[in-house]
Amino acid sequence: MRRNWLAKAALTAVALSVPMAGVATSAQAATPGGVGQQKAVYHKAHPKKHKSLRSSKPKKKHETHYRGKHRRPLSFDEDTATFVKTMEGVPYRYGGTSPAGFDCSGLTQYVYRHYGKRIARTAEDQFLEFRRISKKRAWGGDLVFFHVDSNPNSYVYHVAIYEGGDDMVAATTAGSDVQWQNFGWAGDTVTFGTLTH
């Protein structure tokens, strides 16, 4: 009985070792350098698996005003276009030139002075001081001027800071405040001016 048990154990051991020997042999045949190179072959065979795991992580999004070493500093125009938005909600005040209250040209003068550019006080005088450019060439932070008619040399009664498209930030009218507005309603009675480009 003991002899039968030993024979069965030996057969089981042989049966278990045959597949293992076959795998080791085929693995060694595939990698001539032996077992030590099996790991290197495995990692080289699956580089995309490891790469795709890294690339699936979401990239960190920066704030719009991020000024890290990989970003250029904001230009004067970008600064003014951004800064004027912080004035939204300030009440309209005829003749106003401070955050206690602004009229249209008082707002543009204040924002430009904040970044070191002194400009005239009234909308008409600012128009005469700025270099006229087309809407296509205007940048956010330039000024948009409102004329009494479609003649680009007619009197300027209103001014605002251009934000792109048909948008601006302006000190609107008595009883209101500084607001982001669309000026599409003005049609061809607007012109654009710049000091920087």
Residue 41 has pLDDT above 80, yes or no: no
Domain range enclosing 47: 2-55
Q: Tell me: do 96 and 165 sit in the same domain.
A: yes
pLDDT per position as a tens digit, 83-120: 999 999 999 999 999 999 999 999 999 999 999 999 99
Residue 71, amino acid: R
100 shares a domain with 34: no
Residue at token pair 């698996």: 49
Q: How many domains does the chain have?
A: 2
Which CATH number covers residue 176? 3.90.1720.10
Grade residue 27 by pLDDT with cuts at 50, 70 and 90.
very low
Asked if the structure places residue 68 within a domain, the reply is no
In a domain, 86, yes or no: yes
Do both 108 and 139 map to the same domain? yes
Confidence bin at 71 (pLDDT 50/70/90): low
Q: Residue 64 domain-assigned? A: no
Instruction: Specify whether 38 is located in the same domain as 84.
Output: no
Instruction: Decide: 81 and 141 in contact? Cβ < 8 Å.
Output: yes
- Co-location of 50 and 87 in the same domain: no
Residue 128 pLDDT > 50: yes
Answer yes or no: do 45 and 8 share one domain: yes
- Does 51 share its domain with 119? no
Residue percentage of the chain with pLDDT more than 70: 63
The DSSP-derived string for the chain is -HHHHHHHHHHHHHHHHHHHHHHHHHHHHHSTT-GGGHHHHHHHH-HHHHHHHHHTSPPPPPPTT---TTSPPPPHHHHHHHHGGGGTTPBB-TT-EETTEE-HHHHHHHHHHHTT----SSHHHHHHHSEEE-GGG--TTSEEEEESSS-TTSPEEEEEEEEETTEEEEE--TT-BEEEEE-GGGGGGEEEEES--
Q: Does the pLDDT of residue 21 top 60, yes or no? A: no
Same domain, 94 and 185: yes
